[in-house]
Structure 1
Amino acid sequence: MVYVRAKTVKGDKYLYLVKSKWESKKNTSRQEIIKYLGKASLVKLNDVPEDYRKDPKILSFLTTHSGENVEKNQKLIDKVKKELFNALTKGDLDRCLDIFESFEKTNTLNVFYDSILKPVMYKIGDLWESNELSVATEHVSSNIAKELVSIITERNSVIKKKDKILVCTPSGEEHNLGCNVIQSFLQSKGYHVYNISPSAPTESVLSFISDKKPHAVFVSITLEDNIKSGQRLVSKINSQYKVPVLVGGQAVEGKDYKFDGEIIQNQPLEKIPRIIKQAMK
């Protein structure tokens, strides 16, 4: 696997093109530098050896870290957000797919979810809450978004080799787009994901944990009305099972709610696998 690694020295980032090599005798992988690319703010695509210039991961990294491309990529993100908002509110699934496929050519799945879909859905929710968007339009947008994520998940899932992750919402929480996005991203990384959202009764969640024995549990909460239900669910899980519980969602972002599990706030999807690994130690 080839990717770009950044090293920070005295506040400046420097980029290296590296590849990962598996050492069977040591049962571990090591990094081998292919080329030093230079200071991040000055690196251009032509600095990358020609054989690797079309790699989507490398393109995405340079787009978000190279000084030459940051401003250009932000303009692209703003443009795509407007396009996706229009397509979702019109209920146009085909257009949504076209938008995703075009964006994915130069960016990664997590960037689409974090920088495009998430803020667009927050905007739709805010407009509905302020009566600037009808209930019908909000429902159409949410349903099309779920269909979009479902199609993306099916296309991007890989052979399941990693840990088992349970994704759920507390009883009463009917919003599960966040769960579907988590499932989509983790499955693209090889995790075996059980998504039992939305609104599974607490006893059903506990029974499922007993049966499937997941390595970690994600609890997603969208509406603050469901915080107490989420707190009870997390406490019940912790009282019966030794499994790490991670809590996230719009309801807990920027808030100071207390849970018996680890709260994930404002974290990009690309960091979730590392958070899972740390929680399981």
Structure 2
Amino acid sequence: MVESKWDSEKKTSKQKVLEYLGSVENLTIDNIPKDYRTGSIRKFFIKNQTKLNEEVVEKQKNLEMILTRCLLTGDEDMSTQKSDELIKLIGLQRFYVESITNIMTETGKRWYDGEIGIAEEHMITNIIRKIVEINNHQIEVKGLIEGVAVICNPEGDDHTLSNLVLEGLLKIRKYKVVNIGGNWYMGEKTKATNKAIIDFSVESRPDIVFISVTIARYLFNAKLIAKELSKALPDTKIFLGGLGTQGIIEGELQEGIHLANKDTLSTLNTL
């Protein structure tokens, strides 16, 4: 921790080491002397995904519980308000990776246990989707972009929400994102569908392609798309990921195709 003061006579800054705090990964705001816990310091902890102190973690859990109740009642306005409070507390990236995952996991469990019906599950998903879309739209990408990223999923596999979350995480990292994920089901025209996805991706000339597959039975299509893209775009990083890839190991995929880590941030941090 370094303090910098401006020397008006020498017209330069004087720096003084105040304290050695150790590895950033193990820091919390509590490690910072109270006099230095400014807004910029707090933003640093949120932005860099460092450990949160116990008070913030407890607030996060409580807000997630309240947000879940708002979603269950279909209260879109209160759901948006509580989402904003969570984002202010822990940052957009952590909200996407932790809070949305926690809430949707709890929603899926309630549906599986028969506590809610499929209609309620769809309602919750749709409200969360709107919240993510609003926040994605508000992400400002200033200066030079890091590159172009294409997000897609194979024919038959429709999971819009996770694609939108990934889109936001990439925009935070200053990528221009082309999201063509959605319901590509075309019955007997599977080959035509795969070709449409491949052709569009190639024409976009991306630096990165993310192929997301949730249901294992669509993994064949995902691998086919990845194989064709790796041939057409030899300089492009191609990631295959999602729940449908469980059980695959890195060595199973051909050269040029990377298996995305189940921890999304671990994959994104390698870009």
Structure 1 length as normaliser, TM-score?
0.74
- 1:251 is paired with a residue of what secondary structure? helix
Larger mean CA deviation between 257-266 and 35-44 belongs to 35-44
Aligned equivalent of 2:214, options 213, 222, 227: 222
Stretches of structure 1 lacking an aligned partner (at least 5 in a row): 1-15, 20-31, 277-281
In the alignment, is the contact (CA less than 8 A) between 1:165 and 1:217 conserved in 2?
Answer: yes
Pairing of 1:104-183 with structure 2 (within 5 A):
104-159=87-142, 161-183=145-167
* Deviation digits for residues 117-158 of structure 1 (CA, Å, limit 9, x no counterpart): 012112222332443321101111111111110001011232
Pairing of 1:1-281 with structure 2 (within 5 A):
16=1, 36=19, 38-39=21-22, 44=30, 47=33, 50=36, 53-55=38-40, 56-60=42-46, 64-65=50-51, 69=53, 71-159=54-142, 161-200=145-184, 201-242=193-234, 243-252=236-245, 255-256=247-248, 258-260=252-254, 261-269=257-265, 271-276=266-271
- 1:161 is paired with a residue of what secondary structure? coil
* Deviation digits for residues 5-24 of structure 1 (CA, Å, limit 9, x no counterpart): xxxxxxxxxxx4699xxxxx
CA distance in 1, matches of 2:172, 2:213: 23
Larger mean CA deviation between 193-202 and 123-132 belongs to 123-132
* Alpha-carbon offset, residue 208 of structure 1: 1.2
For residues 227 and 123 of structure 1, do their structure 2 counterparts lie closer, same or farther at Cα, with a shift above 3 Å needed? farther
Stretches of structure 2 lacking an aligned partner (at least 5 in a row): 5-14, 185-192
For residues 199 and 259 of structure 1, do their structure 2 counterparts lie closer, same or farther at Cα, with a shift above 3 Å needed? farther
For residues 34 and 184 of structure 1, do their structure 2 counterparts lie closer, same or farther at Cα, with a shift above 3 Å needed? farther
Structure showing greater Rg? 2
CA distance in 1, matches of 2:183, 2:227: 17
CA distance in 1, matches of 2:241, 2:220: 14
For residues 273 and 124 of structure 1, do their structure 2 counterparts lie closer, same or farther at Cα, with a shift above 3 Å needed? same
What is the RMSD computed on CA atoms of the aligned residues?
3.0
For residues 162 and 61 of structure 1, do their structure 2 counterparts lie closer, same or farther at Cα, with a shift above 3 Å needed? closer
Which residue identity lines up with residue 182 of structure 1 in the other structure?
L
Percentage of identical aligned residues: 19
* Deviation digits for residues 226-278 of structure 1 (CA, Å, limit 9, x no counterpart): 2222222222222332122112223335x336444212233243x444322xx
Larger mean CA deviation between 240-249 and 34-43 belongs to 34-43
Aligned residues: 243
* Alpha-carbon offset, residue 196 of structure 1: 0.4
**Equivalence for 1:13:** none
Which residue identity lines up with residue 259 of structure 2 in the other structure?
I
- 2:240 is paired with a residue of what secondary structure? strand
* Deviation digits for residues 152-174 of structure 1 (CA, Å, limit 9, x no counterpart): 10112323622000011111011
For residues 42 and 189 of structure 1, do their structure 2 counterparts lie closer, same or farther at Cα, with a shift above 3 Å needed? closer
Larger mean CA deviation between 152-161 and 40-49 belongs to 40-49
CA distance in 1, matches of 2:208, 2:65: 36
CA distance in 1, matches of 2:64, 2:197: 35
For residues 157 and 226 of structure 1, do their structure 2 counterparts lie closer, same or farther at Cα, with a shift above 3 Å needed? farther
Larger mean CA deviation between 41-50 and 71-80 belongs to 41-50
CA distance in 1, matches of 2:129, 2:48: 30
CA distance in 2, matches of 1:267, 1:18: 35
* Deviation digits for residues 192-218 of structure 1 (CA, Å, limit 9, x no counterpart): 000001144311221112211000100
